[in-house]
Structure 1
């Protein structure tokens, strides 16, 4: 077997309307199912999103307000997922301004040598890395760069 690419991510959320608005209106994902204000024919409260690369890259499934919160710190399971938001620090600065305007708090910012990254949380506490690949970094010919020491990001 050979994995060709990461296809999609499915997240349980407490409130589908709130989470769909975050991913659609704040992060700019295109909602493909149901269309905003459209009928849900799936039979469960769910919404799918795509960047246009494939049919869907994110699926949200509502589990209700009583669902347990994700514990912080060291635990088994998803730590965060990364979303590429551009190809330059100028684009990352624009993302920073946009999410700040939307009231999204920055959880962290890192220079990983191969990427420049901002970290945020969605309404349910899932950590998201918003990143750009650093131009000119040749990690294919020097894979050690992927594990370079993390430095503070200076935008």
Structure 2
């Protein structure tokens, strides 16, 4: 077997409307189902929403589990640490993202220069950590794979 690519990510969320507003309206992800222009009645058996950046039918699926669901535990734990979303190709684009998320009132929980990427870290409404990043132009990690594990430095935008 050979894995060809990461296909999609599925997250449980407390409130589908709140999470859809975050991923669609704050992060700008295109909602592919349910159609936001259609009626709320549809074939889904549970409240859910799918999003795509255009690479495949959906890269993110959100499934509502209710306000009483347990929170993502803080600190060291087993499971998802964060997922990364490429938001552009330049630091100027990352600065635009920074301005947009600040304007939306989203807290930045980290900012790192990984040599191969420049990254901002935020939390979604349910505490899932998201890395918003750009690949640094001119860094050839394929012929210099040691750069993938380069020391992390503070990001200076």
- 2: CA distance, partners of 1:96 / 1:73: 25
- What is the match of residue 114 of structure 1? 116
Partner of residue 149, structure 1: 151
Residues 1:8 and 2:36 aligned together:
no
Residue in structure 1 matched with residue 98 of structure 2 by the alignment:
96
TM-score by length of structure 2 reads 0.97
TM-score (norm 1): 0.98
Instruction: Tell me, yes or no, if the aligned pair for 1:82 and 1:128 is still in contact at 8 Å.
Output: yes
Task: Give the Cα–Cα distance (whole angstroms) in 2 for the partners of residues 37 and 14 of structure 1.
Answer: 23
Match of residue 27 from structure 2: 27
How far residue 40 of structure 1 moved from its aligned partner, in angstroms, is 3.0
CA distance in 2, matches of 1:121, 1:36: 24
Map Cα deviations across residues 32-67 of structure 1 (whole Å, 9 max, x no partner): 000114333121110000001110000000000000
Range 144-153 or range 32-41, more displaced: 32-41
Instruction: Give the secondary-structure state (helix, strand or coil) at the position aligned to 2:32.
Output: strand
**Structural RMSD (CA):** 0.7
> Could you tell me which residue of structure 2 aligns to residue 41 of structure 1?
43
1:11–1:59 Cα contact (<8 Å) kept: yes
CA–CA distance in structure 1, aligned partners of residues 103 and 42 of structure 2: 31
The alignment partner of 1:138 has SS state of coil
What is the aligned partner in structure 2 of residue 86 from structure 1? Answer: 88
